[in-house]
C-alpha cells in the first residue's frame, strides 16, 4: 500500500537557524510531490511542486528551498529561518486517482 512519511511532527527553531524537513513515499513510483504551508487560520499554500528527480517548481518567492534527490524523497530546507516561516507544513504526493498527505510538521520559529 502507498504510504507517506513526514518528520518531525513538531519543531521549534530559533530565528536564523537552518531547517530541513523530510518526506518519503512508499508503495509508488514517480509520484508528483508537493510541499504546502498553512499559516494560522489560513488555507493551504503550495510552496513547491516536483514531477521528477531534480525537477522543482517554486510557486511563491520565499526564504525556503526544496530538493528531490531520489524519486520518493522530497526535502524542504532553509538556510536561515524567519519568524514568518512559522506554520504547519504538509508534504503530499499525487497520482491520477488520488492525493495523499503526510501528517504534517508544526514549525514554530522563536
Partner 1 sequence: AQSVTQLDSHVSVSEGTPVLLRCNYSSSYSPSLFWYVQHPNKGLQLLLKYTSAATLVKGINGFEAEFKKSETSFHLTKPSAHMSDAAEYFCVVSPYSSASKIIFGSGTRLSIRP
- Binds partner 1 (CB under 8 A): choice among 30, 63, 70, 84: 30
- State the minimum distance, in angstroms, from the CB of residue 99 to partner 1: 5
Site for partner 1 in 46-85 (CB under 8 A): 46, 49, 51
**DSSP code at position 12:** E
How many residues interact with partner 1 (rule CB under 8 A)? Answer: 23
| Beta carbon nearer to partner 1, 13 or 104 | 104
- Binds partner 1 (CB under 8 A): choice among 77, 103, 108, 110: 103
Q: By CB under 8 A, tell whether 89 contacts partner 1.
A: no
| Beta carbon nearer to partner 1, 78 or 93 | 93
Distances (CA, A) of 8 to 28, 59, 82, 98: 22, 23, 19, 24
**DSSP code at position 63:** S
Pairwise CA distance, residues 40 & 33, whole Å: 23
Is-cis flag, bond preceding 8, omega within 30?
A: yes
Pairwise CA distance, residues 63 & 47, whole Å: 11
For residue 58, which of 23, 66, 18, 73 has the smallest C-alpha distance? 66
Judged by the rule CB under 8 A, the positions of this chain that interact with partner 1 are 30, 32, 34, 36, 43-44, 46, 49, 51, 88, 90, 92, 94, 96-104, 106
Amino acid at each position: 500500500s502507498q504510504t507517506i512519511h513526514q518528520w518531525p511532527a513538531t519543531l521549534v527553531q530559533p530565528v536564523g537557524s537552518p531547517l530541513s524537513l523530510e518526506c518519503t513515499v512508499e508503495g509508488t513510483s514517480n509520484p508528483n510531490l508537493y510541499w504546502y504551508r498553512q499559516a494560522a487560520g489560513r488555507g493551504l499554500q503550495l510552496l513547491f511542486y516536483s514531477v521528477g528527480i531534480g525537477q522543482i517548481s517554486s510557486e511563491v518567492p520565499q526564504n525556503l528551498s526544496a530538493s528531490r534527490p531520489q524519486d520518493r524523497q522530497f526535502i524542504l530546507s532553509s538556510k536561515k529561518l524567519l519568524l514568518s516561516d512559522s506554520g504547519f507544513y504538509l508534504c503530499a504526493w499525487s497520482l491520477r486517482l488520488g492525493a495523499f498527505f503526510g501528517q504534517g510538521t508544526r514549525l514554530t520559529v522563536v
